[in-house]
Amino acid sequence: MLNIILFGPPGSGKGTQATRLKDRFCLKHLSTGDMLREEKSNGTELGLEAKRFMDAGELVPDHVVIGMIAVRVDEVLNKGGFDGFIFDGFPRTVAQAEALDKMLSERETAIDQVLALKVGEEELVKRILLRGETSGRADDRDESIIRNRVVQYEEKTAAVANYYAQFDKVTYVEGEGGIDEITEALAAGIDALV
């Protein structure tokens, strides 16, 4: 299997790039943000629990996202049809990373590489506000919520890259520039593994 984490701050292009890479490498794209938005719009109990954190630009508690990911990973492994996973927006804390590693090792697989997109804060805010014009996401429209998401990233998520760096599993990729060019840089990082 080939398991990739597409890592980076909010607005760094993880979703866009994961969508492009998944078909090329036959990977299942798992985005916790997309899953949580689906739960929210279906009005499930989990969605209702997640809503207040998401609307404030805070992280949803670890146990909620870890449980949600475990269910999806097992669904895919049982059904088959993919060569691995591309995780997008997960893990977002070191506790989530440790839980993911444990979950994968129990299933006799592991994270191969973390591809980390680098984008400056002002560019992130600009991109998210632009996306907010069409995304229908309340958390993309309010600059103070967007800045809080960046703060959460710096305070809780950036450490995930250090966690994987101790296993020599992090490749940094420039996330500003043309979308095609960034896809090729990420694909080269994956090609190097296969």
Look at phi and psi of residue 84 and say left if phi exceeds 0, alpha if psi is from -120 to 50, else beta.
Answer: left
The least CB distance from residue 176 to ligand AMP, in Å, is 18
Q: Is 22 in the site for ligand AMP (CB under 6 A)?
A: no
Stretch that binds ligand AMP, among 57-65, 103-111, 119-127, 160-168 (CB under 6 A): 57-65
User: What CA–CA distance (Å, rounded) separates 39 from 182?
Assistant: 31
Is 126 one of the annotated active-site residues of the chain?
no
Catalytic: which of 51, 72, 137, 141? 137
How many other C-beta atoms are found inside a 10 Å radius of the C-beta of residue 96? Answer: 23
For residues 20 and 63, the answer to whether their CB atoms sit within 8 Å is: no
Site for ligand AMP in 66-85 (CB under 6 A): none
Catalytic: which of 14, 20, 22, 28? 14
Q: Is 32 in the site for ligand AMP (CB under 6 A)?
A: yes
Q: Name the percent of the chain in helix, strand, coil, to the closest 5.
A: 60, 15, 25
- CA distances to 76, 100, 101, 193 from 70, rounded to whole Å, are 10, 8, 11, 25
Q: Is 40 exposed, middle or buried (0-12, 13-18, 19+ CB in 10 A)?
A: middle
Stretch that binds ligand AMP, among 53-61, 71-79, 108-116, 171-179 (CB under 6 A): 53-61
Is 79 one of the annotated active-site residues of the chain?
no
Q: Is 54 in the site for ligand AMP (CB under 6 A)?
A: yes
Stretch that binds ligand AMP, among 1-9, 21-29, 56-64, 106-114 (CB under 6 A): 56-64
Cross-strand pairs, 88: 6, 31
Nearer to ligand AMP, 134 or 192 (CB): 134
- Sites of contact with ligand AMP (CB under 6 A): 10, 32-33, 36, 53-54, 57-60, 65, 89-90, 92, 96, 139, 149
Catalytic positions are 14, 92, 131, 137, 149
